[in-house]
A = this chain, B = another copy of it.
Amino acid sequence: MTAQRDITVGELGEKALLARILDALAGSSQAEIGPGDDAAVIAAPGGRVVVSTDTLVHGPDFRLAWSSGFDLGWKSAAVNLADIAAMGARPVALFVALALPDDTTAGFVDDLALGLRRACEALSPDCAVEGGDLTASDTLTIAVTALGVIDPDLRPVLRSGARPGDVVAVAGELGAAARGVGMLFDRFRDASGRPIAVDRGILTDAEEVDLDTQLRPRPPIAAGIAAARAGATAMMDVSDGLLLDATRLADASRATVRLAPTPESGLDDDALRGGEDHALLACFAPDAELPDGFRVIGRIDPRGAAAVTIDGVAVTGHLGWDPHRDWDAGRG
């Protein structure tokens, strides 16, 4: 494959491109019927499936100067796996609709397929890419739909089930991805604001961790299933910032989320307002035993004037991540 990495998808044609992608994914399918027919067939032993879809678009969602094909494959898998985990479900299949400009290199697509595969293997080994679609487009677009199954003895965990007195907890990173994207905008653009390649040599180890969290997030997929098993009353993926997503959970549950930052909780401004870490925010009955990976960050109050408070004080200002505002300057 290496010899042809620079050939473009326009030159290669759809059939040969598909063959390369299937080659990169070979042996990973765990479905009854995987890629190749009109549709895939996925087992759903509990009699129901959980489905979510999330798209990465060149421009609003990523820049090619900053993200490799591998990064984009990884991230598009990870963000969708997180949505499934946030329901307390076990991811089982990804479907990937790729829309590619003709000048995309085959090597980029190989890397993207590998990133999808490696993210599944690392984050959710029972899940693989089981189908997809290839189209030509002027704009590189990766639309992923994820399927999960709920263990037969469990129910899906919604945003709307939090009750006053519940403990509020979080699993996974908060703030690192926001520091990572801040670093990209602050330090890896040219004088006219255009993205330039990242020079990792000038980054500290901690900065590299932040950058990697932005480019290849590692949502705590197993923690979602563990939370469902521990009786979580409500759960959601923190994709747009803790304050904004906690507001959504509070509104859906008609309650107030009272955050209680402590020196240990790490709830600094990045953690409160930064997006894209794909941590899991969950609520548990006061007497529940928290599963591994979760740390307490507050509790549920009866609904007050504010959806979210910090130690009882209403939160104001910019709550979180808005991709339309925060990413739209400077395409590249």
Residues on A close to B: CB < 8 A? 13-14, 32-33, 36-45, 47-61, 83-84, 86-87, 89, 93, 95-97, 99, 130-133, 135-139, 141, 143, 145-148, 150, 156, 158-160, 235-237, 252, 323-324, 328
Chain B residues with CB under 8 Å of A135's CB are 55-57, 60-61, 323
Given A59-B137, A138-B138: A51 in contact with B38 (beta carbons within 8 A): no
Show 26 A/B contacts (Cβ-Cβ < 8 Å), sorted by A. Answer: A14-B324, A37-B158, A37-B160, A37-B252, A38-B84, A38-B235, A39-B83, A41-B50, A42-B48, A43-B47, A44-B49, A47-B47, A51-B93, A51-B130, A53-B133, A55-B133, A57-B135, A57-B137, A59-B137, A95-B145, A99-B139, A99-B143, A133-B143, A136-B324, A139-B139, A139-B141
Contacts of A58 in B (CB 8 A): 137
Q: Is the interface of A mostly helix, strand, loop or mixed?
A: strand
Structural contact, A41 and B87, CB atoms closer than 8 A: yes
Across the interface, do B51 and A95 meet the contact criterion of CB distance under 8 Å?
A: yes
- Are A40 and B51 touching (Cβ within 8 A)? yes
CA distance in complex: A196, B231 (Å): 58
Query: Which of B41, B50, B96, B235 is in CB contact (< 8 Å) with A40?
Result: B50
Please state if B47 and A95 are interface contacts (CB–CB under 8 Å).
Answer: no
What are the 3 tightest A-B residue pairs by CB atom distance, in nearest-first order? A39-B52, A143-B143, A139-B139
Contact A99-B57, Cβ < 8 Å, known A89-B39, A236-B38: yes
Q: How far is the CB of A307 from chain B (nearest CB, A)?
A: 15
In Å, the complex CA distance between A57 and B14 comes to 15
Cβ–Cβ < 8 Å partners of A136 in chain B: 57, 59-60, 323-324, 328
Q: Within 8 Å CB of A158, what residues of B?
A: 33, 37
> B residues within 8 A CB of A133?
53-55, 143
Which residues of B lie under 8 Å from residue A99 when comparing CB positions?
55, 57, 139, 141, 143
A236 to B45 CA separation, bound complex (whole angstroms): 26
Interchain CA distance A56-B99 in the complex, whole Å: 9
Given A39-B148, A60-B137, 11 more pairs with CB closer than 8 A: A32-B48, A38-B237, A39-B83, A39-B146, A49-B147, A53-B145, A57-B137, A61-B135, A136-B323, A141-B141, A143-B143
A145: B residues at CB distance < 8 A:
51, 53, 95, 97, 145
The answer to whether B51 touches A42 (Cβ under 8 A) is yes
